[in-house]
Amino acid sequence: MCYSVMDQTNRTLSINAGRGSYHAAREASNLITETKALLRKLVHVDSNSAVVFSSSVTVAMNQIVNGIEWKEGVTVYVSPYEHNAVARTLHKVSKEKKIKISLLPVDAKSLEIDLEKTKYVFSQDKPYAVFCTHVSNVTGYVLPIQEIFEEAKKHGAVTILDSAQSLGLIDVDARVIGADIIAFAGHKTLYGPFGIGGFINVTGIKLAEFITGGTGSDSLNLEMPEGNEAKYEASSCNVVAIAGLNAAIKDLNVEEICNMREY
């Protein structure tokens, strides 16, 4: 299904969406809009939450980490299970912005997140932001995201979920887990193609633009356009990959996959 849709799109709709008013350009724009709506529905948020497409979840994480307004000396917590898309990006920014990176505590025997110790370290060293993968891509461990983020919010922290290994595999309800931003990858548990990823800005966290360039609108203005989506979507959208992701999400049955995980 995904392959055939991408093949058809590549033959008939591989054009620059938003760069013209002709029929195919409008059709491509509608495809992008529909796919963003499908992603919002998947994480149970409404149209107020911005969906930003990028070429991968790694690029999306770079946009998020470099877009946050950091203050010197603040503490950022991460789990020990983070992908290098998070770990390396935060490491680089920590040197530039002089922020502190701390690991969430784990139980020595089970290697699961120790929630009681987490509460304690948060009280001793207030979190400015908390980055967590939802599922470890090494062990398959499902982190207690809701409990971690709930504690983080008591201290006013920004919460960022890496759902690359979970979205499509298990139910990711933004209303329940308390994530401000959810980053996603099209080619993993969404079962879409390479070349498409992004993030969902659930609560409208203000981010500075990190990647700049053409957007097809207000071209004489050297500033990136304002808006929760266009401001972060420099360059032409990968319409073919988005079409594949669209087809994959429509074919997705999270409840069925969750039930399969029990066996």
Beta carbons of 159 and 200 less than 8 angstroms apart: no
Least confident of 64-73, 149-158, 220-229: 220-229
Q: Are 194 and 241 in contact (CB under 8 A)?
A: yes
pLDDT in tens, 73-128: 999 999 999 999 999 999 999 999 999 999 999 999 999 999 999 999 999 999 99
- Predicted local confidence at residue 250, as pLDDT: 95
Share of the chain above pLDDT 90, in %: 76
Amino acid identity for residue 50 in this structure: A
pLDDT value of position 259? 61
On the question of pLDDT at 260 being above 80, the answer is no
In this predicted model, what pLDDT tens digit does every residue of 141-155 receive, in sequence order?
A: 999 999 999 999 999
Q: What is the mean pLDDT of residues 203-209?
A: 95
Report the helix count and the strand count for the chain, using DSSP H and E. Answer: 9, 7
Mapped onto helix, strand or coil, the DSSP state of residue 88 is: helix
